[in-house]
Structure 1
Amino acid sequence: MPELRTDRLLLRRWRESDLEPWAAMNADPEIREYLGDLLTREESDATVAAMKSDFEERGFGWWALEARATGAFLGRAGLDVIGEDMPFSGVDVGWRLTRSAWGNGYATEAGRACLAFGFGVLGLPEILASTTVDNLRSQAVMRRIGMTRNPADDFEDPGVPEGPLRRCVLYRAPAEPRTAHRGT
């Protein structure tokens, strides 16, 4: 599993010590505001096991996010294959941070690192991102990392019951065209 490093962040393998702070995030109503129900400790631990398994199987997925200066656990960021039940397909980029990490530019920094990995290492032609229509903070990150939205792509998440979390927006980032260099 590759690690990604930015100026301030380390995107790394999940550790046993991450389980408690991750569970606390999944039990926090403010963090889960746009994600649905709170998770029990067992459900939260199962998500880490699934993320580890996906990474081993595909060579990419959700990294644990750590502050390089302090070693503090900040959440997760990464790339994931879009579920077959969605009205589109591909790979999406995402992030989820502890409340204490909000407003520091970490999601933007991690998102850019994930895009660079997806395009540069995996050779993806496009990377997507989605969130609920009301999650304006996440949409702002998507715009800051160079993604664009076409309202015609907005959708209702088939895995979410009727309500405010069902209506979603979709952002896209195409791979940058490669420029050919010619020698003389």
Structure 2
Amino acid sequence: MSVATTDRLLLRDWTDAPADLARIYDIYSRHEVMRWLGGGTGRLTEPGQAAERLTSWRDRYARYAGRYGLWAIEVRDTGAVAGSVLLKPLPGADGHTPTSDIEVGWHLHPDSWGHGYATEAARAVLAREFTTDTRQVYAVVTPGNERSMAVCRRLGMAHLGRRTDWYGGTEVETFVRTAPASR
């Protein structure tokens, strides 16, 4: 299912097609990606774990009927998947219970870094979310992840400093984007 499109990208559900499962494994088994996601916990170590990861994403976001999720970022010209974009309720102080705060995020394969795909994909899901009653969306970034902080700035997000409100009290660089004013 397509979630959004841009000039260059198709944001769609990840599938259990062999190419998608291989790409999930290739992205989420890499230290250079996973070091920024929860300190590297959850790194895939066997190709078969990609199907389990996909099932966990589907189960986690099923109750949101497509509003929130973690989607593949497909480059329209090539069909290659650059990575994932997500939009979801941030987990609270216990690390699990969803809060009313919404997060946008991205996880790209290193071969797709530096092409503007994260910014373009995040901009599309933000625009989609701001058509609802959501007034602001956060991005939380592991301290030191300069690439992701640059994406936040390109998205026009305001830096709020380091906070420990979510993910079980983990300290994260926090950015926020407020919905555009209604006309």
Per the normalisation by structure 1, the TM-score is: 0.83
Distance 1:139 1:86, change over 3 A: farther
When residues 32 and 155 of structure 1 are mapped into structure 2, their CA distance, relative to the original with a 3 A threshold, is: same
The answer for the alignment partner of 2:80 in structure 1 is 72
SS at match of 1:31: helix
Q: Match for 2:91: what amino acid? A: G
Task: Mark the CA change 1:156 to 1:39 in structure 2 (over 3 Å): closer, same or farther.
Answer: farther
Contact 1:78 1:94 in 2 (8 A): yes
- Alignment CA distance shift 1:51-1:111 (3 Å): same
TM-score for the superposition, normalised by structure 2? 0.84
Other-structure match for 1:163: none
1:8-27 to structure 2, matched below 5 A, reads 8-17=8-17, 18-27=20-29
Unaligned runs of 5+ in 2: none
Pick from 167, 170, 177: which aligns with 1:173? 177
Deviation per residue, 1:4-54 (Å, 9 max, x gap): 100111000111231111112111111112121322345443331122234
Identity, % of aligned pairs?
34
The alignment covers a number of residue pairs equal to 172
Q: Contact 1:83–1:89 at 8 Å: present in 2 too?
A: no
Task: Give a deviation string over 1:151-174, Cα, whole Å, max 9, x none.
Answer: 2x52376548xxxxx431111111
CA RMSD of aligned residues (A): 2.2
Which one has a larger percent strand, Structure 1 or Structure 2? Answer: 2
Shift of 1:175: 1.0
Structure 1 residue identity aligned to 2:137: I
Give the aligned residue type for 2:127.
Answer: A
| Paired residues of 2:14 and 2:72 also in contact (CA < 8 A) | yes
SS of the equivalent of 1:62 reads strand
Matched, 1:103 2:114: yes
Q: Does the 8 A contact of 2:16 with 2:54 survive in 1?
A: no
Shift of residue 84 of structure 1? Answer: 2.7
Q: 2:3 maps to which residue?
A: 3
Which sections of structure 1, spanning at least 5 residues, go unmatched? 161-165, 180-184
Q: Judging changes above 3 Å, is the alpha-carbon distance between structure 1 residues 86 and 176 closer, same or farther for their aligned structure 2 residues?
A: farther
